[in-house]
Structure 1
Amino acid sequence: MVGNTYPYRLDHWMSDIKLAHAHGFDGFALNVGREEWQRDRVGDCYSAALQSQLPFKLFLSFDMTSIPATCEEDVKHLAEYLKQFASHPNQFLCKGKTMISTFAGENSTFGCSDAAAGWKYAKKVLNQIVPVYLVPSFFIDPAHHNFHSVMDGYFNWNGSWPIHLTPESSPEEIRLPKLETDHHHLRYLGDKTFMAAVSPWFFTHYGPDSWNKNWIYRGDDWLFVRKWEKLIGMRDRINIVQLISWNDYGESHYVGPIKGAQPNSQAWVDGYPHEAWLHLNAYFIRAFKQGFSLGSPTLEDRIFVWARPHPKDAWAPDSVPRPTNWQLTDDNFWVVVLSTREGLVKMWSADDRGDARSYRILPGLLKLSHPLVLDGGMGVEVIRDGNVVARCNPEVYKFQSQPGVYNFNAFVAMSS
């Protein structure tokens, strides 16, 4: 989200690029909006990528909920970006063409009779600068649309979450919900490029006096892990995986460090680090690229934990009400263990460990959960041959009985 990088300097981009590359990422998709200052930040990012001397690629993703696209002149905003960056050595090319993407755009007409004609016109203009490869995230039913002739591929942005769930969904449907929309898009995509999405979480909490976005998608049941498991299982059919997101603090699915300029999301982001997810994600990147089994023994024992900060039905003196769909989440903490060999896992939430439970574990990746206790924490140990070989018990986390705001973000931690 370039929109969250207003105070960035080149060295900020450099540290992000080095951190992302060290955790298996091949590049960044740069989401840009209408503000002119964002082009300067993009320029710094491309410069940092070049100076890093890393094989790290970049491509532009135009936020069409921000960028005007009602008349022919509006395509100039997209064109100016391509004129400046398309020939850069770190520009990502797909099938020899300059990759571009979008967030939305299914209603962007660029002054034409409909959006399909509008994008045909926009591509014609952009192709005069450099051949482009358009892989948008239009929010459309792939079985019923007329964009086939203008899309070179498709990005299933909403495929990250079980967005179909409501409080009226059955308990069976809510628990371990299906994540099958990638198959629906692939069925109608033919031989075009498919970019799948994966995301660890979703919570946004803006009131009517702001962006008026206040809801959650269910991130329980190890959503992040389960979606990666599906992508790895169909890796031969997927061309690109995009993680949502590096720094979208407003929607709580960031995996990078908290820095830059938050979009007035401090109330639910500050103090809630997600970088442990970045480390976990690196494991899945390796599995996706190499095709190894997630049941294979890992090289080291590692524990990952995450949880929300208060009961879902707690009351808070917050001017913005509980988010829509708050009923869909459970008061548990979620655990992933990467295990080198058989052993024992012990989990607890109460400070006195009176609620502790133990489980035998096998090598590879294990998914576990444990109920949260009011004003308790998250504690997990891996024990082998009578010795604790890994422990995760973040002291700063407490499951608050009296929260100050409604916060459905996650606190994420891992063993050292």
Structure 2
Amino acid sequence: MLRTAICCAVLLALPWCHGLVTKEKPVVAHFIVGNTYPYTRADWQRDISLAASKGIDGFALNMGNDSWQLDRVADAYDVARSMDSGFALFPSFDMGIIPCREERDGDMLRDFVNAYHNHSNQLAFKGNPLASTFGGQGCYFGQPTVNEGWRRVLKRGLPAVHFLASFFMDPGIYGSMDSADGAFSWDSAWPMGNYDITDEYDVEFRKYLKGRTYMAAVSPWFFTHYGVDTLNKNFIYRSDDWLLARRWELLVSGRDQIDIVQIITWNDYGESHYMGPIASAQPGSESWTNGFDHQGWLDLQAYYIRAYKTGTYPRVERDRLFLWGRLYPARAHTQDSLKKPMNSEFTEDFAWVVALLAAPAQIGLRCGESRVVENLPAGVSKLRLPLVHDCNVVAILVRDGATVLRFEPPGFRFSTTPHAYNYNAFVAASP
């Protein structure tokens, strides 16, 4: 198992210590600071406490260069320190927002590293504070090449930084890029076509990194629905077939070659892959996120996080059912002023179910006339229920002839006549 230098150990309840060496593999969540304009210290405390309770070690703070964003980041670091929780933070510089053409454009990044490299809650890896990006493959910072630009900004005249680039480019470029200590593969979280998730990106990145740090991604969903007058993105990635569970299973099986896992995301409402509470300023996504709480995924994910960190799937101590799916048919037509999202043909009309069972049991699923009954062993099982007609989704767990659990999540109603295109997931977890 790789030895990891990381400035937190939430699961071990250890105090914070800069440069602490541990075999625990860090699991962090991507956090959009741009959605936190109204955030108070209490909001940060709520999110940090909730994330830590689900096995998440820290937040990758996706940040721009607005002064108010820097203020919110300062609050996050200060609150994390005041909580004495060992919860870690590190910058994920959003290079789609931060200018990077001129040499002086790198000053903001350098100033940030100087300000936080010794902070008690700054995530460190292999002994040095960690910094990452979202994009940046076109950043020259006044230098002849991208590689020289990033070397100038983060590798000269600064405290040592462990830099994980997240560039949207052929991973083969990393083979000749010495400015980066490793890479984060954002797109590894979803299949990039109409097929199931695989580890193709993991394999390709590791091939060219040649032993440098590799951070893999995991995400439960992807749907965004913005018109040309706003962000101009309207598409889905294929999120069927229990994407969250299957991606985690790939990460667990390949854990010896994966140094860090980054969850996409805690609070990106605009792309529908948020797992935290809907509790901040939404980026115009209210029409497809309001009423679609995703926190049920956190408990399911906690099970897989523990398996990734230890290399062994934990024994299930309590029966839990996790259900999710779209509320409207993929092929339905609406009066939406915005056209149907691209790739909508990639998804099928099913309720996706993951059962965590403490002992063998029978699970029954139904929605109107659609029914599925299966006898399942203890541990983790996956089921799916076709969604055809207007109906409410119901799950029943029976053991030894007695009903142990009847779960009919309020709001999980499939409707064949949507008013607008909404491919977001409705998520529910049994008590």
TM-score normalised by L of structure 1: 0.94
Residue type matched to 2:367 in 1?
A: S
8 Å contact from structure 1 (residues 116, 146) kept in 2: no
8 Å contact from structure 1 (residues 28, 57) kept in 2: yes
Query: Of the candidates 380, 385, 405, which is equivalent to residue 390 of structure 1?
Result: 405
Partner of 1:129 in structure 2? Answer: 158
Residue pairs, 1:132-171, within 5 angstroms: 132-145=161-174, 148-163=177-192, 165=193
Partner of 2:38 in structure 1? Answer: 7
- Other structure's SS at 1:87 match: coil
Distance 1:147 1:134 in 2: 15
- Other structure's SS at 1:111 match: coil
Partner of 2:108 in structure 1? Answer: 77
Distance 2:403 2:200 in 1: 39
Partner of 2:263 in structure 1? Answer: 243
Residue pairs, 1:14-413, within 5 angstroms: 14-125=45-156, 128-145=157-174, 148-163=177-192, 165=193, 174=195, 176-293=196-313, 297-350=315-368, 354-413=369-428
Deviations 1:352-394 (A, max 9, x none): xx33221110111001101013221221111101222233211
Residue 146 of structure 1 deviates from its aligned partner by 6.1
Deviations 1:291-311 (A, max 9, x none): 213xx6510100000011200
Partner of 1:170 in structure 2? Answer: none
Residue 97 of structure 1 deviates from its aligned partner by 1.2
- Other structure's SS at 1:259 match: coil
Distance 1:99 1:87 in 2: 11
Deviations 1:279-335 (A, max 9, x none): 111111111112213xx6510100000011200111222111111000000001100
Aligned length: 400
8 Å contact from structure 2 (residues 198, 250) kept in 1: no
8 Å contact from structure 1 (residues 297, 341) kept in 2: no
Change (3 A) 1:122 1:146: farther
8 Å contact from structure 1 (residues 303, 391) kept in 2: no
Mean Cα displacement is larger for which, 272-281 or 145-154? 145-154
8 Å contact from structure 2 (residues 54, 298) kept in 1: yes
- Other structure's SS at 2:155 match: helix
8 Å contact from structure 2 (residues 371, 385) kept in 1: no
Distance 1:252 1:313 in 2: 19
Residue type matched to 1:5 in 2?
A: T
TM-score normalised by L of structure 2: 0.90
The CA RMSD measured in Å over matched residues stands at 1.3
Mean Cα displacement is larger for which, 369-378 or 44-53? 369-378
% identity of equivalent residues: 44
Distance 2:171 2:367 in 1: 45
Structure 1: which 5+ runs fail to align?
167-173
Residue type matched to 2:247 in 1?
A: K
- Other structure's SS at 2:130 match: strand
Distance 2:302 2:406 in 1: 20
8 Å contact from structure 1 (residues 39, 81) kept in 2: no
Structure 2: which 5+ runs fail to align?
1-31
